Chains A and B, each alone.
Chain A
Amino acid sequence: MSTHASTAQPSYLVDTGARKGLMAWLTTTDHKRIGLLYLYSMITFFFVGVGIGFVMRLVQLTTFQKLISAQTYNALFTVHGVIMIFLFVVPGLPAIFGNFFLPILIGAKDVSFPRLNLASWYFFVAGAILAVLSLFTGGGAPDTGWTFYAPFSLKTGTNVSLAVFAAFVLGFSSMLTGINFITTIHRLRAPGMKWFRMPLMCWALYSTAWIQLLATPIVAITLVLVILERFFGIGIFDPSKGGDPLLYQHLFWIYSHPAVYIMILPAMGAISEILPTFAKRPIFGYKAIAFSSMSIAAVGSLVWAHHMFTSGMSATANMVFSLLTMIVAVPSAIKVFNWVSTLYKGSIDFQPPLLFTLTFIFLFCIGGLTGVMQGALALNVHIHDTYFIVGHFHYVMFGGTGMALFAALLYWFPKMWGKMYSKKAIYASWFPMFIGFNMLYFGMMILGMMGMPRRYYVHLPQFHTMHVVATVGSWLLILGLVMFFGTLLYAIFKGEKAEDNPWGGVTLEWTIPSPPPLENFEEIPTITHGPYHFEQQEAK
């Protein structure tokens, strides 16, 4: 590839405005810099969450121990959930890679509302600070679990109000980002960038943004009701005043189940970007993947009550939601088959991003299939609230979204910083990560099948062996994570200079210099063909 040494525009990493250094970053309206701001803040919180998870696993290393108190344990699993879900997995891919690459992928200079975009980041940081404050102020860290189930969340003396308000602010940030992305995709596509010429990441972000808009407000109002209940006692969720905790569960899951799709859809989008590049052929079934994103968004919004099969819902609702839950598996499976078919007969160029992509597909399949198991009513009643659930959702969220985020980070790293990391070190980090991951979370699923309930401070002797296996797995996993991020951090400062197009990708971001110039494109490109237009394919 030609180098762009004579580029008139400086890289976005160079301060060109009146402000320099940190202030230039904190007042930036450049979508690329905002993406990085999100990245740095989220990875920080991710490691806080990892640290809490590490302590929780240490607690389970012995059947009965006194490392921390039971109350602290309750606080830890609550905070682990709140941080990982609201500060990392939900906003992760859209806020980091959506911000950085959405405008570039559709040939735009920025998002539609750049200042609103920066405001979203500030809302995110404000929410994060409030969440952290809630640990140390008031009655102590919330002990309700991240779901804040009423009526306990209404009665507990811990600082639920502030934690809930933090989630509300984070939800606001997420909605504003959604508004920005939808408007950007509608208005700022480059000339010739028709809907079906958009890279699949854009489709994924588009459907995600719609879920953000249509589901987040429901949890916002639910959380407001919890706060009003705690301060004024309005009684809507309080059975002693005629309220109904089941209404809380319904409203909470109307958002929080679609939130799972907010987490996984952009991950799927990133995977759909990476695969064609390393298989060197167009994605198999472009429209099927695009439409399956939209149908996952639609059907995924209608399955929330499968979290409530044991809560005393009507039998009719149990059956309806069981059926709908099974249906979501269809568009998800469509994607998996399309990815695998893309690899078939491709000229595969094996690189670290592809390794993590394949890891994603493998782990996501396990997570997805165990999800279908739980859609079945009879089995669900048996494994509800056991470690099986914990194992399952870690496979989806960490094995799915997390691994896809790592894959995306590896894939776009040279573009974002203009540096290349050590591929060997990344491969080396994969082994402990993968082995540790499966020991930890598959171990949890076995424990759940054996009957180990989730959120328990102590465990019975018969569960001990698997608990030790899982804890050792957590150490390996953390080792892998530290190696992985250590490698990347080193590469940011000391890495070799990356080429503009190190992987031979054909989407728009690979046509511009690494790191991208301030306004992305010298001149807005005109698009004449679909996104995955490989020359070899043309020659056939």
Chain B
Amino acid sequence: MTGHVHRDDFGSRLGMWLFLVTEMVLFGGLFIGYSYMRYRYPAEFHHGGGELNATLGIINTLVLLTSSLTVVLAIVAIQRAEKKRAMAFLGTTLALGLTFLVIKGFEWGAKFHHGIYPNSHHLATMPPGEQVFFGLYFTMTGLHGVHVIVGLGLLSVMLWWVATDRVRQDRYVHLENSGLYWHLVDVIWIFLLPLFYLAA
């Protein structure tokens, strides 16, 4: 191998943070688009927010916050060489992430059932501002959902690596980086909650 004679954990984390920068800007672009549209259609956004199920949004917030906690606890466990506990924490995170997706699925399913989905006839009868609201809602929560799925994939690999000791007390930067990704997914949801569900 060329290069890499030494392991550079700090460099790995720096690389991950720089990747997160691109993720922040990616969603930042959507948030900018959101504020642009909300400025144009304040009343419609207010009304659109009323049609979303705030309870499910809040429950999902708590689910993700807790899953974020368990990831960071898994890192503490690894630092203390408590392998079983780390695996339990990671498993909890995976379960919570799946719960989030299931709740999300029910929520979207209910919307679809009411005829609210992009390009639907029912949506076309709504005022333009609300069409944009739901366009943004499906785009932003959808893209966030994709990130949740990617994060779950990463964390599953981490669970496997912890189990097989590829991630261990003296070598856990991969777990840290996957955790960073998961926290960012959480942060994005922290913003999505008030922007959509609490907008009414």
Binding site for B on A (CB under 8 A): 29-31, 108-114, 116, 175, 178-180, 182-183, 186-188, 213-218, 220-222, 224-225, 228, 232-236, 241-244, 247, 250-251, 254, 518-519
Task: Say if the beta carbon of B71 comes within 8 Å of chain A.
Answer: no
Known: A186-B14, A217-B22. A243 touches B139 (CB 8 A): no
A sample of 15 cross-chain residue pairs with beta-carbon separation below 8 angstroms, ordered by A number, consists of: A110-B3, A110-B4, A116-B15, A179-B22, A183-B18, A213-B18, A213-B21, A217-B26, A221-B29, A235-B118, A236-B135, A236-B139, A242-B132, A243-B132, A519-B2
The answer to whether A242 and B1 have CB atoms under 8 Å apart is: no
The answer to whether A224 and B143 have CB atoms under 8 Å apart is: yes
C-alpha gap A29/B4 in the complex (Å): 11
The answer to whether A113 and B119 have CB atoms under 8 Å apart is: no
Known: A242-B128, A243-B132. A109 touches B14 (CB 8 A): no
The answer to whether A111 and B41 have CB atoms under 8 Å apart is: no
The answer to whether B36 and A220 have CB atoms under 8 Å apart is: no
Write the chain A residue with the least CB distance to B19. A179
The answer to whether A182 and B18 have CB atoms under 8 Å apart is: yes
Task: Say if the beta carbon of B40 comes within 8 Å of chain A.
Answer: yes
The answer to whether A225 and B139 have CB atoms under 8 Å apart is: yes
The answer to whether A112 and B8 have CB atoms under 8 Å apart is: yes
Question: Which residues of B are found within 8 Å of A213, using beta-carbon distances?
Answer: 18, 21-22, 25
* Residues of chain B in range 8-64 having any CB-CB distance to chain A below 8 Å: 8, 10-11, 14-15, 18-19, 21-30, 32-33, 36-37, 40-41, 44
- The answer, among B5, B10, B29, for a CB contact under 8 Å with A222, is B29
- The answer, among A182, A217, A242, for a CB contact under 8 Å with B25, is A217
Write the chain B residue with the least CB distance to A180. B15
Chain B interface residue count, Cβ-Cβ cutoff 8 angstroms: 43
Question: Which residues of B are found within 8 Å of A225, using beta-carbon distances?
Answer: 33, 139
The answer to whether A244 and B30 have CB atoms under 8 Å apart is: no
The answer to whether A236 and B11 have CB atoms under 8 Å apart is: no
- The answer, among A110, A234, A242, A244, for a CB contact under 8 Å with B139, is A234
Question: Which residues of B are found within 8 Å of A216, using beta-carbon distances?
Answer: 22, 25
- The answer, among A29, A235, A241, A244, for a CB contact under 8 Å with B1, is A29
The answer to whether A29 and B3 have CB atoms under 8 Å apart is: yes
Q: Give 18 new A-B contacts, CB below 8 A, not counting A29-B1, A30-B2, A254-B29.
A: A109-B2, A116-B15, A179-B15, A182-B18, A183-B15, A187-B11, A213-B18, A213-B25, A217-B24, A217-B25, A225-B139, A235-B135, A236-B139, A242-B41, A242-B44, A243-B132, A244-B40, A251-B33
The answer to whether B2 and A214 have CB atoms under 8 Å apart is: no
Task: Say if the beta carbon of B131 comes within 8 Å of chain A.
Answer: yes
Binding site for A on B (CB under 8 A): 1-5, 8, 10-11, 14-15, 18-19, 21-30, 32-33, 36-37, 40-41, 44, 118-119, 124, 127-132, 135-136, 138-139, 143
The answer to whether B18 and A228 have CB atoms under 8 Å apart is: no
Question: Which residues of A are found within 8 Å of B25, using beta-carbon distances?
Answer: 213-218
Question: Which residues of B are found within 8 Å of A247, using beta-carbon distances?
Answer: 33, 36-37
C-alpha gap A520/B8 in the complex (Å): 20
Known: A235-B132, A236-B135. A175 touches B3 (CB 8 A): no
Nearest CB of chain B from residue A42's CB, rounded to whole Å:
23
Known: A29-B3, A30-B2. A217 touches B29 (CB 8 A): yes
Question: Which residues of B are found within 8 Å of A221, using beta-carbon distances?
Answer: 26-27, 29-30
Known: A232-B118, A242-B129, A519-B2. A113 touches B15 (CB 8 A): yes
The answer to whether A236 and B2 have CB atoms under 8 Å apart is: no
C-alpha gap A179/B2 in the complex (Å): 19
Write the chain A residue with the least CB distance to B117. A232
The answer to whether A244 and B29 have CB atoms under 8 Å apart is: no
Question: Which residues of A are found within 8 Å of B135, using beta-carbon distances?
Answer: 234-236, 241, 243
- The answer, among A183, A187, A241, A518, for a CB contact under 8 Å with B2, is A518
The answer to whether A214 and B36 have CB atoms under 8 Å apart is: no
The answer to whether A110 and B2 have CB atoms under 8 Å apart is: yes
Nearest CB of chain A from residue B49's CB, rounded to whole Å:
16
Question: Which residues of A are found within 8 Å of B30, using beta-carbon distances?
Answer: 221
The answer to whether B136 and A114 have CB atoms under 8 Å apart is: no
The answer to whether B138 and A234 have CB atoms under 8 Å apart is: yes
Write the chain B residue with the least CB distance to A187. B11
Nearest CB of chain B from residue A481's CB, rounded to whole Å:
34
Nearest CB of chain A from residue B38's CB, rounded to whole Å:
12
Nearest CB of chain B from residue A102's CB, rounded to whole Å:
13
Q: Which of A112, A221, A244, A250 has the most CB of B within 10 A?
A: A221
C-alpha gap A31/B2 in the complex (Å): 9
Nearest CB of chain A from residue B125's CB, rounded to whole Å:
12
Known: A213-B22, A235-B131, A242-B41. A186 touches B138 (CB 8 A): no
Write the chain A residue with the least CB distance to B124. A241
Nearest CB of chain A from residue B21's CB, rounded to whole Å:
5
The answer to whether B3 and A111 have CB atoms under 8 Å apart is: yes
C-alpha gap A61/B5 in the complex (Å): 60
C-alpha gap A438/B197 in the complex (Å): 58
C-alpha gap A455/B32 in the complex (Å): 31
Question: Which residues of A are found within 8 Å of B2, using beta-carbon distances?
Answer: 29-31, 109-110, 114, 518-519
- The answer, among B10, B21, B119, B127, for a CB contact under 8 Å with A214, is B21
Known: A30-B2, A221-B29, A236-B139. A241 touches B131 (CB 8 A): yes
C-alpha gap A412/B87 in the complex (Å): 52
Write the chain A residue with the least CB distance to B133. A242
Known: A241-B128, A242-B41, A518-B2. A234 touches B26 (CB 8 A): no
